[in-house]
């Protein structure tokens, strides 16, 4: 990492004892910094105006020191909530985190006067469930940690506080359950987070890309979620969770590909229904990557595969279209993606208008104008809908991208191309690792105990073990008899 001379000078000075002069020098030109002097007792306080809350200032600064004499002030400062700081670095960090630095004679203290900011806990927009808890994570890490602590009332829930970003100093908290998570993995994760050298981190979904083992893969490798119940279950499964300050997403690791197809909902339904939903999602996964490509392959090369009656309708519908199926399909898929992207960028109210306009244009006019065949509309719409069945937005976006590759291969080589494409996807999936664990667990390495909690959602008496991917030293989770 390249450091400028002044930064080095800062670094050597950080171990010095803190003083008002040095602090003011350090925060030179920060006009939102407030310096308050209490003349009656000689106390000087420095803090960032907008990080501090009025009530906190009143409680911790104004009331104790406004009319105090120096002896009183000193005795107050040696009691909580004030804590002494010995180095300049600590002091600066405290001020940046919204604390007030208090100076009396040659000693310095910090008092937490930060006001709580950010939105209240509310329902997650991207991951909704019908049955089950409705709270979602927020941007504030303390809130998120508290939500998890409230769910796991155990001293075994350990936290490792780290900070990432040379400038942003973003708080990153690793959570794990002692005795359930594998300590080697915790070490490895800690080292990996500490090795990040970047100026700033803004979101967990960005953060995970910094610690990916396969940064060029199209697939997301760390499972991020906005749901506390999902993180709780991951922690109990022996995985490591990680909160990144400023992000409502919390990620967990090690992750397998199939984790992205599970929703907390599955565990709140009866197991048969949960199983049906899991299978529906896997079907949705196959449809979303293959369906349009399959249409292109059979209309371009494999007319024998189409049932006779359907072939006549299809031919009639296709005969008005001037483009070959490949171009036709790419056009429609691009249109759908445009529509989806527009809907995601626009405010909800205008978004609905887009939906209606898109529905009419794509649904009817395109076919009547001889732009596409109506069966392609069905294929494209079905694969778009199927892509939204996948609970993880990030995964669903990746799969939509893969679809384009498969369509092109199918348009060039037919079913052979489609199969080649699927083989490439599988090769790619098999090559990915996450914290050293195979991405395709429990398919490869095969594991029956994991499979009954992956492709089906087995009844709870059957889900006796924690997932093997976590390499937990304490693998049994259900001790009940049937």
Partner 1 sequence: MRSRAAGKLSRFLALLLALLMLMMTGCSDQRIIEKIGFIRTIGLQAAAEDEGEEEEEENTGKIKVTISIPKTKEQDVIVYSTVSKTIRQAIKVFDLQNDRKIVNGQLRQIVFDTALSRKGIWKYLDTLMRDGSVGNRVHVVIAEGDLNHMLSRNFEQSGPAGEYIDNLLRTERRMGDVPDSNLYTFLRDYKDDGIEPSASILKETGNSLIVNGIALFQEDRYVGKIDAEEKIYFGMLLGNIRAGDMFLDYPDKDFVSEDSTLMRFNSSRKLKVLSVGGGAQPPKEKISLKLTGTLLEYNGGLDLESTAERHQLEDEIEKFVQLKCEAVLATMKELKSDAIGVGQHVRNAMPYAAWKRLDWPEEFARSQIEVHVDVHIKSFGKLQ
**Sites of contact with partner 1 (CB under 8 A):** 299-304, 306, 308-309, 311-312, 314-316, 318-319, 321, 324-325, 409, 412-414, 417
Tell me whether the omega of the peptide bond preceding residue 81 falls within 30 degrees of 0, making it cis. Answer: yes
Q: How far apart are CA 332 and CA 380, in angstroms?
A: 7
CB of 368 to partner 1, least distance (A): 17
Nearer to partner 1, 98 or 417 (CB): 417
Burial class of residue 333 (count of CB atoms within 10 Å of its CB; 0-12, 13-18, 19+) = buried
340 half-sphere exposure, CB direction, 13 A CA radius? 17
CB of 383 to partner 1, least distance (A): 20
Nearer to partner 1, 286 or 424 (CB): 424
CB of 2 to partner 1, least distance (A): 22
CB of 350 to partner 1, least distance (A): 39
Tokens for 42?
């000689």
Q: At what angle do helices 141-151 and 228-236 cross, to 10 degrees?
A: 60
Triad 464, 469, 473: Cα angle to 5°: 65
Measured over the CA atoms of residue 355, residue 361, residue 367 and residue 373, the dihedral's sign is: negative
Q: How far apart are CA 462 and CA 353, in angstroms?
A: 48
Q: How far apart are CA 186 and CA 253, in angstroms?
A: 10
Tokens 């990557």 belong to residue? 289
CB of 328 to partner 1, least distance (A): 10
Q: How far apart are CA 134 and CA 149, in angstroms?
A: 17
Nearer to partner 1, 132 or 370 (CB): 370
Nearer to partner 1, 104 or 380 (CB): 380
DSSP SS3 for 275? helix
Nearer to partner 1, 151 or 318 (CB): 318
CB of 21 to partner 1, least distance (A): 52
Nearest to 222 by CA among 145, 423, 214: 214
CB of 269 to partner 1, least distance (A): 40
Alpha-carbon distances of 277 from 129, 261, 382, rounded to whole Å: 13, 10, 17
Nearest to 256 by CA among 449, 439, 448: 439
CB of 403 to partner 1, least distance (A): 18
CB of 330 to partner 1, least distance (A): 14
Nearer to partner 1, 303 or 388 (CB): 303
Listed in order, strand segments (DSSP E) in 220-348 are: 223-225, 240-244, 250-253
Triad 78, 84, 89: Cα angle to 5°: 170
CB of 312 to partner 1, least distance (A): 5
Q: How far apart are CA 373 and CA 381, in angstroms?
A: 13
Evaluate whether 172 touches 207 at the Cβ level (below 8 Å): yes
CB of 373 to partner 1, least distance (A): 9
Listed in order, strand segments (DSSP E) in 153-238 are: 157-164, 170-177, 223-225
Rounded to a whole number of angstroms, the CA Rg of the chain reads 29
CB of 215 to partner 1, least distance (A): 18
Nearer to partner 1, 96 or 312 (CB): 312
DSSP SS3 for 219? coil
Nearer to partner 1, 315 or 474 (CB): 315
Nearer to partner 1, 131 or 378 (CB): 378
Nearer to partner 1, 318 or 340 (CB): 318
For residue 102, the surrounding DSSP H or E stretch is strand 99-104
Nearer to partner 1, 397 or 408 (CB): 408
Listed in order, strand segments (DSSP E) in 137-229 are: 157-164, 170-177, 223-225
Nearer to partner 1, 322 or 347 (CB): 322
Triad 93, 99, 101: Cα angle to 5°: 85
């Amino acid at each position: 990492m390249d450091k400028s001379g002044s930064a080095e000078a800062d670094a050597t000075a950080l171990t010095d004892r803190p003083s008002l002069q040095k602090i003011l020098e350090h925060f030179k030109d920060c006009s939102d910094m407030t310096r308050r002097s209490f003349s009656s007792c000689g106390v000087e306080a420095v803090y960032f105006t907008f990080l501090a809350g009025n009530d906190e200032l009143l409680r911790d600064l104004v009331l104790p020191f406004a009319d105090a004499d120096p002896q009183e002030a000193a005795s107050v400062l040696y009691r909580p909530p004030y804590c002494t700081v010995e180095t300049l670095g600590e002091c600066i960090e405290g001020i940046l985190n919204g604390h007030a630095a208090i100076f009396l004679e040659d000693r310095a203290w910090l008092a937490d006067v930060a006001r709580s900011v950010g939105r209240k806990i509310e329902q997650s927009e991207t991951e909704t469930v019908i049955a089950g808890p409705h709270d979602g994570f927020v941007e504030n890490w303390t809130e998120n940690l508290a939500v998890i602590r409230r769910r796991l009332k155990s001293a075994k829930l350990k936290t490792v506080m780290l900070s990432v970003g040379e400038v942003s100093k973003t708080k990153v908290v690793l959570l794990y359950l002692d005795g359930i998570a594998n300590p080697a993995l915790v070490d490895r994760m800690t080292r990996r987070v500490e090795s990040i050298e970047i100026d700033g981190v803004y979101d967990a979904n960005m953060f995970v890309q910094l610690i990916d083992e396969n940064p060029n893969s199209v697939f997301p490798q760390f499972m991020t979620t906005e749901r506390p119940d999902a993180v709780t279950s991951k922690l109990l499964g022996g995985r490591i969770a990680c909160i990144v300050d400023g992000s409502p997403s919390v990620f967990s690791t090690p992750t397998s590909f199939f984790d992205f197809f599970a929703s907390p909902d599955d565990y709140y339904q009866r197991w048969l229904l949960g199983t049906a939903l899991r299978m529906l999602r896997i079907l949705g996964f196959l449809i979303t990557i293959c369906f349009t490509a399959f249409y292109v392959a059979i209309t371009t090369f494999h007319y024998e595969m189409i049932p006779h009656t359907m072939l006549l309708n299809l031919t009639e519908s296709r005969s008005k279209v001037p483009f070959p199926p490949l171009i036709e399909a790419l056009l429609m898929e691009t249109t759908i993606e445009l529509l989806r992207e527009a809907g995601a960028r626009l405010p909800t109210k205008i978004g609905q208008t887009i939906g209606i306009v898109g529905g009419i244009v794509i649904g009817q006019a395109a076919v009547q104008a001889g732009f596409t065949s109506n069966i392609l509309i069905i294929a494209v719409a079905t694969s778009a809908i199927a892509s939204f069945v996948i609970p993880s937005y990030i995964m669903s976006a990746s799969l939509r991208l893969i679809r384009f590759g498969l369509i092109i291969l199918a348009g060039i080589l037919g079913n052979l191309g489609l199969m080649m494409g699927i083989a490439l996807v599988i090769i790619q999936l098999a090559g990915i690792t996450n914290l050293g664990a195979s991405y395709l667990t429990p398919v490869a390495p095969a594991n029956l105990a994991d499979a009954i909690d992956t492709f089906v959602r087995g009844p709870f008496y059957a889900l006796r073990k924690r997932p093997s991917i976590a390499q937990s030293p304490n693998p049994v989770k259900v001790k009940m008899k049937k």
